[in-house]
Amino acid sequence: MKNFSINEFQQNLFALRNAQNKNFSASLLPGVDEDFILGIQIDVLRKFIRKFFAHTDAAEFLNALPHKYFKENLIHVLLVSKMQDYSECLDAVKKFLPYVNNWGVCDSFIPKIFSQHTEELEPEILSWLQSDGEYFVRFGLSMLMRFYPFDAKHLELAAGARCEKYYSQMMAAWYFATALGTNFDAAIIFLEERRLPKWINNKTIQKALESSRISDAQKKYLRGLRICTRRLSPAALQASD
């Protein structure tokens, strides 16, 4: 196993660049500087990871923080997601989360070993949900959605997440729309009782209406649970008195 070399690594990575894919990726990642997007297709990237780290120490790469390029961050989460030791994986997740700055990297961060340690992981998820970091919260919601049942307990945790920024709010809506398609009776209570912020409530309904897992009758009912955002005119207000 040879030592990691950043120069060798980046040279090999740069050789895989694709201008067309770069433009497409940039359009999906607002806020990420285009100079840091290399434009490498995910299947090509996975092959590169298998080949390059077959004989190179991945630990050195994981410790070489911060990374410069979007695809380096993506490689990082793909490597961590394959770790088979729970404690080692959790430490690696905690170390890297502060560097996550876009939804593409955040949503690719899916440590498989977490599925076997849900009880131990739950306090960690709660701390992420209460963080003031946008992607800490999004990651916590992602872990809830992927590894836990949509029951009353975990729906409560999701509803209590500190969703103050766009990408955490979007994940909350995705979570509850998925919950509606999985356990409608438990999830619908959070909309009926107005227990979600207005924006998340309405975005949840929008996403649920696009789902094939929700019946036409359920969609009709959901439409009636939208929270109106339109301001009434003075004349309309007077007429309503």
How do residues 142-179 score in pLDDT, each as one tens digit?
999 999 999 999 999 999 999 999 999 999 999 999 99
Q: Is residue 235 part of a domain?
A: no
Task: Render 30-68 in DSSP notation, one character per residue.
Answer: TTS-GGG-----HHHHHHHHHHHTTSB-HHHHHHS-S-S
The pLDDT assigned to 23 comes to 87
Instruction: Identify the pLDDT of residue 233.
Output: 52
Structural tokens at position 192: 């009926």
Asked if the bond preceding 197 is cis, omega within 30° of 0, the reply is no
Both 72 and 147 in one domain: the answer is no
Any domain includes 207? yes
Token pair, residue 187, equals 């999830």
Q: Are the C-beta atoms of residues 4 and 61 closer than 8 Å to each other?
A: yes
Q: pLDDT over 90 for what percent of the chain?
A: 81
**Burial of 201 by CB count in 10 Å (0-12 exposed, 13-18 middle, 19+ buried)?**
buried
Residue 241 has pLDDT above 50, yes or no: no
Average pLDDT rounded to a whole number, residues 64-72? 94
Domain count, the chain: 2
What spatial distance separates the first Cα and last Cα of the chain, rounded to whole Å?
Answer: 78
Q: In the block, which residue shows the tokens 């992607």?
A: 135
Cα(147)–Cα(136) distance, rounded to whole angstroms?
16
**Bridge partner residues of 56 (DSSP):** 2
Structural domain boundaries enclosing 81? 1-116
Tell me: do 121 and 214 sit in the same domain. Answer: yes
Domain boundary residue, one of 58, 85, 116: 116
